[in-house]
Structure 1
Amino acid sequence: MYNKFKDHNFTIIGISLDRQENKAQWLAAVKKDGLPWLQLSDLKFWDNSAAKLYGVRAIPQNFLIDPDGNIIGKTLFGKGLEAKLTEILTQGAESN
C-alpha cells in the first residue's frame, strides 16, 4: 500500500514493540525487509507509549489517522485496506 499511495498525502509509521535487548534484531529486520517508511520504538515492549495511547492489545495492528489526528480506520489489511485508502485518498481529487 505504501508504494501505491505514498504520493497521495499518505505515509506509514512503523511502531515496534521490541525490547531493548532485541534492538539489533529489530533494526536488522527493518533493513532486511526493505521498509522505506519511518520506524520507531521506545524499546519498552508492551509498555510502549504509542501502544498504550491507541489501546493496542495484539499485533500486527494498524490505524488510519487523518491529518487532524482522528482515527478513521483500524485493523484493515489486504483488499479492505486498499479499498479504504482508495476511498479516502480519492475524495479530494474527485471534487477538484
Structure 2
Amino acid sequence: MKLLTVLFIGLIMMGPSDPTFKVGEVAPDIALPNMNGEIVKLSSLRGQMVFIDFWASWCKPCRKENPQIVADYMKYKDEEFENGTGFTVYSISLDKKKEAWQKAISKDSLIWTTNVSDLMGWKNEAALRYKIGSLPMSYLIDGDGVIVAVNPRGDKLEKALKKNRKSESWFKSLFGY
C-alpha cells in the first residue's frame, strides 16, 4: 500500500509528459459551476490573459503554489497585455467535497470569482477534456483564448506574463530583445 501511495504522489508531482494542448492552439471552452452553482464559461473571460489552473484542496504541490498565483494575480490583474486587458485565474478544482474546496479557497485567499468545479474529482468534465493526469497542471491563454504557455508553474508564470505585457512587446520591437 505504501508503494502505491508513493507512486501516486510521484505522479501528481511529475506532471504530464505530453500536454494535450500546445502553445499556439486555442484552448477549448470550459463551462463549470462556481461555488454558487452558476455556470462560468472560460470563453466569458475573452479579452483578458487567463491562467487556467487545474488543482485540488488535497494536492500539496498545488496548495504550495497558490500564494505565488495570488501574488501574480494581484500584480497583473489590471495590466495591459499584447492581446488582452487584465489578468485573471480560472481555477478548476478536482475536489469531490464542496466543503474542502471552499475551505481551501478561503484559506489560500483565491480571491478571483472564477473558482469552478463540478465536484467530480478526476472525472471532472474539463479534466477529462484536457486529459489531466496529474496535478498541478495549467495553461496561460491570451485575450483570444490562444495558449501562450503550458504549465507555467512558479516564477515561470510571472515570466510569461511579463513577456506578454504591452510595454514588453514595445521594448522588444524597439531594441530587438
TM-score, L = length of structure 2: 0.48
Aligned with residue 162 of structure 2, among 53, 70, 86: 86
Q: Distance in 2 between matches of 1:12 and 1:89?
A: 16
**1:18 aligned partner:** 95
Cα shift at 1:91: 5.5
Find out whether 1:3 has 2:79 as its counterpart. Answer: no
Helix, strand or coil at the partner of 1:25? helix
Give the match for residue 74 of structure 1: 150
Q: Secondary structure of the equivalent of 1:11?
A: strand
Partner Cα distance (2:168, 2:108) in 1? 32
1:30 alignment counterpart: 105
Shift >4 Å, 4+ stretches = none
Alpha-carbon distance between aligned partners in 1 of 2:151 and 2:122, rounded to the nearest angstrom: 18
What amino acid does structure 1 have at the position aligned with 2:98? K
Higher relative contact order (CA 8 A, sep 6+): 2
> Could you list the per-position Cα deviations for residues 38-71 of structure 1 after superposition, in whole angstroms to 9, with x for gaps in the alignment?
2100011111111122222111111111222222
Unaligned runs of 5+ in 2: 1-71, 80-85
From the two aligned structures, give the one with the greater helix fraction. 1
Which among 106, 122, 130 is matched to residue 54 of structure 1?
130
